[in-house]
Structure 1
């Protein structure tokens, strides 16, 4: 979509100013119902006029005049960035993140910032500063999180591209719940600056879009090394411009796991994803094997890592934070932190090594692993941080999303692509690749999208 819009702006068929006006009209009409965008860029019309002036001079950039939305924990110079926290309610950065910088260099216009849970710590979108974001498919349900505002923005057409980040599923979960495409790159493919205070080494920025091709173009613009992120300097160069041909498709080997050996999955979600996986046979994929990799469940290790890092970050403002924070955090974060020792934090890496030992066996035999993105469809907002049971079976905190975080810990690229509806709510399928096979995951997602039409479904708000 954005490619066609760019061409229209560049050839004068539509001005960037007109384009921004159309998107703003849609935001003004629908955002009050869903609360996806929390801050608008008050300079965006002036910036659009500047893009139109350049177009008239024959200067046309890769995202020339295209509006984008950005999650509210990514720095945007001159535009409020709150992290969903009352502590940062008036924070206006005096510098851009690398992502914001590259988007602007490519001619994109930052339309506004999208809602998120406070500091991105949970898989829903609610905070004391802006309140709850609602799922456009059912306003009584969550869009997921933590990039929930971004996923809703794409589902409702507030912008053709939104940038989120993912430290345990925060791009893929809301993409699944909102029926859009989300991509989590391998670490440092998109350089990260400033570095995160929490989810260190496992959080990555990435695109949420309606069309896979838009995500590929976005990755082409945002990827590549930057001295401010030293780890990006050793990332292998990835070519985001090739096409997947039919002969290549035949050689692809896909492993499918319905639960990774430990997850509880809603039976209708499981059936929808299973049907989607085997549709790859219609596209020419010859090897599709169902496997049980019997992976260790590292959710406790993830929580240990996040809790220790967040407590370290907030320590100097702990008492002030307690007074204004999202109250459920006080019920699980602080009590959990008080039980931890430094031994627990150090052991996380050992646990991840065991996880990778199991996964490496899978990826020696197969090119891609496919799972449900999430165990359930979007749940009711009144259920809080998650449902208490799935298929009549009691589940604990976070067990409704068991399939995304392992691949943050192992540093693998993964996408969520819409593949159907259950009770008129979207279901996502997760495609996981080998480390730094980012374009492979995107190409396979694109190939699926081009042959099936689930990406065209729209919520009726």
Structure 2
């Protein structure tokens, strides 16, 4: 980094690189930026009567298209998708009908990574067109409740985008069919993701897609060409299906805006995905696509990855681009091939990763903010795992950067920044409240020139924080911290406001403030509800260091939570290898519907078989989905052995386990123990192959928090990640044995219970204030949070939205 080019860094909060000028970095590829304020329209194709220019919050997808294959009956309707539904359509290639070699179900599609799907295409087990069919079906099923994908006012993905997706997929299928005789033969090394469906963030410009930057007053603007990210995705072979939801100008670490509305979390739709790449996170975590683009200027990739159970890499730089993924292999392959946000030189990982010296801390950059119990447990379990594996891990008692000073520096770049100024241009007193209050405050402020109205004289230069982190990395190779301070927040703003109402009102009236210092203090203070939920991520945008969020933890309410490793500049390959180590050691906790196994062997992808069948118990209340190759002539035996089990001893073991928040036996409402076996000719078959178990919940288990434990032969227990959907429990294992289904009092609220319980979770979570002189002398109170615990209501609320860092370039954008 040329330090003489850097003076201050901005903090418009977790925005995308598309929106903000970025300082040049000699060791990093320039971040490609789109002009946010340019008015751009495009003539609609003659084949469509759709209003593609108007993007709304309506959630149904995808639109009928004249070029859609006959196999879809010229229609993709938002009807319920059965997870066992298959692609049985024929592809027309070179005027010949080529039937797929095997049926491919929705459930199987959702399980695969991007590389695995590309391999199936390469082996001609499935076509790109068939995968596009399946992807749009999953979007039609999931998007109405998640609002992850942008749609037009009548609830469809713009027809021109859908048409182009099918045209691209058909062209790829034709190239593969023609082989070496094709005019443009396939080069799998250059296009490792050829034919794989993907989505890109709405801030990443896509031809015929949204070009509003999430600003309500820009409603109706569409792009007349694709931007750098869409072109990069196309170059690598992806088929782009549409764009994903994001907050106004990418300014929030949640995904919500007056134009598009909130994004629901697949783990609990009443909660948010995080932001600003929240739509992409929701799309991948729900199985719509295996990969979706993101951008990160303050945590916008890592925050939603943590809150939805995904992998999120932030490369070296202050504002960067990288996709959200569910396997390390996908992240590695993309990083190897991409030219965006990639340093020119890279630090190679040591052959023995255990030689890396790792620091961790339970302290936050905001010295008066204490972590939630979930965050502490996530870190301490990670530390215990690393030490058990032979890594050297040391605790750091104080965070190396003063977060309150850093926030000031971070804020400067947003004051009068181009995209904010463009958003407020022409805004009147009557319509200013259609903007996010932060947009209005930053867009009407300036610290330079004759119209300067903001005093930034108290701000430290950016180099101060870069130097502090560089000094830290002379002692340690990796820095382990929680990605966020708490689990995903509620979508109810009364429960989890991303800005305090009185502060929002002051921002809308900021031009009445005559004191330039008071104006700057308001612009800085307004970030606090967000930074106190996500106090760490933006620090590494400030310093420019690479960082990766890994999905290693589930709360007792079955909510995902990520831990983050940061490293010195250009250490992306080191971080990816650490991620690989965790993945290979079964440390990832993902939605079983999208990833039943996260293990690679010797760096190779898992075996790719695509035919599953369902075996059912005699009473049909328990079933298992298993590969048909392994399931020939097998039957499922399911015995209830609860009465034969010493439940008191089992309860003691559950209480002792660190994967739950159960402290007393009376918190457990019931335990059911089942013995599962695969049998052939009434004899037990031992089969080491992944299988997904589905168990109908009994009446006394419904509306409860459910935990699953594997009871080993020595009677010790092992926690098994699981998901409850309606009245059914689902988990994935690679062997059978005895399993305990533990029900406890439900401490989280579902989407239909939110209105009833919102008042009870609205209580403020207070934290000890040891730094009352910072920014504000009032007592420090965390924002309300959608999470509650039945034995600790004062458990630190989500330090929501950690701001964005966008850097100033001297003479050039």
TM class by smaller structure: 0.7 to 0.9
Which residue is 1:11 aligned to? 123
Residues 89-119 of structure 1 show CA distances to partners (whole Å, capped at 9, x for unaligned) of 3333233222211211221100110001111
* 1:205-284 to 2 correspondences below 5 Å: 205-223=321-339, 235-238=343-346, 247-261=351-365, 262=367, 263-284=369-390
**Shift, 1:377, TM fit:** 0.3
Partner Cα distance (1:125, 1:275) in 2: 29
Which position in structure 2 is the counterpart of 1:419? 552
- In the TM superposition, residue 265 of structure 1 has moved relative to its aligned partner by 1.2
Structure-2 change in CA distance of 1:321 and 1:436 (3 Å): farther
- When residues 287 and 124 of structure 1 are mapped into structure 2, their CA distance, relative to the original with a 3 A threshold, is closer
Matched, 1:325 2:446: no
Distance 2:385 2:461 in 1: 35
For residues 22 and 84 of structure 1, the distance between their equivalents in structure 2, rounded to whole angstroms, comes to 28
Superposed CA deviations along residues 65-95 of structure 1, whole A, max 9, x for unmatched, are 0011110011112333332223443333233
What does residue 46 of structure 1 align with?
A: 167
Q: Which of 1 and 2 has greater Rg?
A: 2
Change (3 A) 1:47 1:349: farther
In the TM superposition, what whole-angstrom CA distance separates every residue of 1:406-442 from its partner, at most 9, and x where no partner exists? Answer: 1111111111111111121111101111111112111
The structure-2 alpha-carbon separation of the partners of 1:416 and 1:174, relative to structure 1 and needing over 3 Å to count, comes to same
- Whole-angstrom distance in 2 between the partners of 1:132 and 1:31: 12
What do residues 12-48 of structure 1 show as CA deviations (whole Å, max 9, x unaligned)? 1101111111111111011101100014331212211
Q: State how 1:25-424 maps to structure 2 within 5 Å.
A: 25-39=137-151, 40=157, 41-43=161-163, 44-58=165-179, 59=186, 60=188, 61-187=191-317, 202-223=318-339, 235-238=343-346, 247-261=351-365, 262=367, 263-297=369-403, 298-309=406-417, 310-319=419-428, 322-323=431-432, 325-326=434-435, 329-330=436-437, 332-335=438-441, 341-342=447-448, 350-382=460-492, 383-386=495-498, 396-398=528-530, 399-422=532-555, 423-424=557-558
SS of equivalent to 2:162 = coil
- Give the alignment's Cα RMSD to 1 decimal: 2.7
Q: 1:177 to 1:127 in 2, by over 3 A?
A: same
Conserved 8 A contact 1:363-1:434: yes
Pick closer, same or farther for the CA change 1:311–1:77 going to 2, 3 Å: closer
| Structure with a larger share of its residues in helix | 1
Q: Is the alpha carbon distance of 1:307 and 1:378 closer, same or farther for their aligned partners in structure 2, counting shifts above 3 Å?
A: farther
Superposed CA deviations along residues 115-167 of structure 1, whole A, max 9, x for unmatched, are 01111111111112221111111121111111110111111011111101111
- In 2, Cα distance between equivalents of 1:12 and 1:334: 53
TM-score under structure 1 normalisation? 0.85
Corresponding position of 1:198: none
| Distance (whole Å) between structure 2 residues aligned to residue 306 and residue 162 of structure 1 | 27
Specify every segment of 5 or more residues in structure 1 that has no aligned partner in the other structure, as ranges: 188-201, 226-231, 389-394
Q: 3-state SS of the aligned residue for 1:454? A: coil
Q: Does the residue aligned with 1:45 lie in a helix, a strand or coil?
A: helix
Which has more strand, going by share of residues?
2
Task: Select between 434-443 and 349-358 the one with higher mean Cα deviation.
Answer: 349-358
Give the CA deviation at 1:299.
2.2
Other structure's SS at 2:294 match = strand
5+ residue gaps in structure 2?
1-112, 152-156, 180-185, 501-526, 593-722, 726-813
- Partners of 1:220 and 1:93 in 2: CA distance: 29
Given candidates 102, 116, 132, the residue that maps to 1:20 is 132
Quick check: 1:11–1:55 contact (8 Å CA) kept in 2? no
Query: Which segment drifts farther, 103-112 or 305-314?
Result: 305-314
Mapped contact 2:358–2:478 kept (Cα < 8 A): yes
Counting matched residue pairs gives: 426
Task: After superposing the two structures, state which structure 1 stretch, 445-454 or 26-35, moved more.
Answer: 445-454
In structure 2, distance between residues paired with 1:218 and 1:404: 22
Q: Distance in 2 between matches of 1:155 and 1:356?
A: 34
1:77 and 1:94 in contact (8 A); partners too: yes
Secondary structure at the counterpart of residue 78 of structure 1 = coil
Give the Å deviation of 1:384: 4.2
* Cα distance in 2 between the residues matched to 1:387 and 1:127: 13
Alpha-carbon separation, structure 2, partners of 1:336 and 1:68:
34
What TM-score do the two structures reach when normalised by structure 2? 0.49
Secondary structure at the aligned position of 1:57 is classed as: helix
Measure the CA separation in 1 of the matches of 2:124 and 2:389: 39
